[in-house]
Amino acid sequence: QRNELNPYLRKPAVLGGYPQIRTRRNRTDAWTRSLVAENRLGPQDFIWPVFVQEPDGTSGISAMPGVLRYGLDRVVEAVAKAAELKIPAVAVFPYVDESLKTADCAEAFNPENIVCRAVRLIKKEVPDIGILCDVALDPFNSLGHDGLVQDGKILNDESVEALCQQALVQARAGCDVLGPSDMMDGRVGAIRRALDDAGYQDAKIMSYSAKYASAFYGPFREAVGADTMLSGDKKTYQLDFANSDEALRQVELDLAEGADMVMVKPGLPYLDIVRRVKDRFGVPTMAYQVSGEYAMMKAAAANGWLDNDKVVYESLMAFKRAGADAVLTYAAIEMAELLKAG
């Protein structure tokens, strides 16, 4: 029984209608694939990181095509668009002028700093969107580190004190979710206590629990103006990417100290960690598709090497499959628009 179109293709000569089980049946048509899809992606799965800057207008970031820093005259419009697309929350990150960066990071505790002003403005103009703020000193630190530095060493406990102050000015400005991204020991418990003592029992903590010392943060450091400031690396506080048990231990501690949600960061190369955290603890588990991941997709797409929309969609679905409840992604707006357009 030769196949007329292709003589090399033959009907299998096996009796009994083998194979009885054909997993491809469920993949024959778009409707059946849709029916059996185990995961779905929607705008509610995203948190959109937004960079804010002092000067009015916007500015670009060379390694992050399509991502802008917004002045206070432009940020409301951008966040309103996210809300309209049904993205539940934004994460506000500051670009801080070098003149405001000091070794004591005083600008981080200034209630009039760019983060606090942006938060107040967004809360007033787009009240229904959740606001997350990074709790870490690096955008305000002349040494570029997330904690206070003395004689080249990061001071843990002094840094935690400073982070509590930073969290408080952010909560007072109206921030809904504090995101300690500094990786100091004991910071989650200390921030929780500081918030509770000041009457912010409902302020949530999304801890960057499994935050690795990663080279994928490069473009972000340009975005917040910390690239030229950083002396050395962050390996004495961020996790070693050779490890995963250590990440679980960190998550366990952060939960015990009062974290409401935990985060894994970076994202795509760390989906094994997302899965382990979700399986072990069963708590809201976020993942951060970081700047370097975004840059890789955009660079390949710009060269015509990858299809931007398809890889962005596939990468974000992969987070869901790994067990993430939501993804911080710079592609939140473009993806939400694509999903809306079907």
Query: In angstroms, what is the minimal distance from the CB of 263 to ligand PBG?
Result: 10
Find, among 109, 320, 283, the residue nearest to 209 by Cα: 283
Contact pick of 51, 109, 200, 220 for ligand PBG (by CB under 6 A) = 220
Query: In angstroms, what is the minimal distance from the CB of 308 to ligand PBG?
Result: 18
Q: Where are the alpha helices (DSSP H) in the chain?
A: 30-36, 72-84, 114-125, 156-173, 187-197, 218-223, 245-256, 271-281, 291-302, 308-322, 332-341
The verdict on whether 265 is a catalytic residue reads: yes
Among 101, 204, 234, 265, the one annotated catalytic: 265
- Told to check if 257 binds ligand PBG by CB under 6 A, we report no
The C-alpha atoms of residue 294 and residue 334 are separated, in whole angstroms, by 12
- Told to check if 146 binds ligand PBG by CB under 6 A, we report yes
Site residues (CB under 6 A) for ligand PBG, limited to 74-133: none
The verdict on whether 153 is a catalytic residue reads: no
Tell me whether strands 130-135 and 285-289 are parallel, antiparallel or unpaired.
Answer: unpaired
Contact pick of 107, 138, 176, 257 for ligand PBG (by CB under 6 A) = 138
Contact pick of 53, 166, 181, 207 for ligand PBG (by CB under 6 A) = 181
The C-alpha atoms of residue 246 and residue 313 are separated, in whole angstroms, by 30
Residue 89 has φ and ψ, to the nearest 5°, of -155, 155
CB closer to ligand PBG out of 13 and 184: 184
Mark the segment that binds ligand PBG (CB under 6 A) among 23-31, 217-225, 244-252, 296-304: 217-225
Which residue type is seen at 256?
A
Q: How many CA atoms lie within 13 A of 38 on its CB side?
A: 7
- Told to check if 290 binds ligand PBG by CB under 6 A, we report yes
DSSP 173-236: HT-SEEEE-S--TTHHHHHHHHHHHTT-TT-EEEEEEEEB--GGGHHHHHHTT-TTT--S-STT
Contact pick of 45, 107, 134, 222 for ligand PBG (by CB under 6 A) = 134
Residue 255 has φ and ψ, to the nearest 5°, of -65, -45
When CB distances to ligand PBG are compared, the closest residue is 220
- Told to check if 48 binds ligand PBG by CB under 6 A, we report no
Contact pick of 217, 237, 270, 319 for ligand PBG (by CB under 6 A) = 217
The C-alpha atoms of residue 244 and residue 161 are separated, in whole angstroms, by 28
CB closer to ligand PBG out of 214 and 285: 214
CB closer to ligand PBG out of 209 and 291: 291
Dihedral angle sign, alpha carbons of residues 106, 108, 114, 117: negative
Contact pick of 82, 136, 149, 333 for ligand PBG (by CB under 6 A) = 136
Neighbours of 10 (CB within 10 A): 10
- Told to check if 175 binds ligand PBG by CB under 6 A, we report no
Binding footprint of ligand PBG on the chain (CB under 6 A): 134, 136, 138, 146, 181, 217, 220-221, 234, 290-291
Catalytic residues: 211, 265
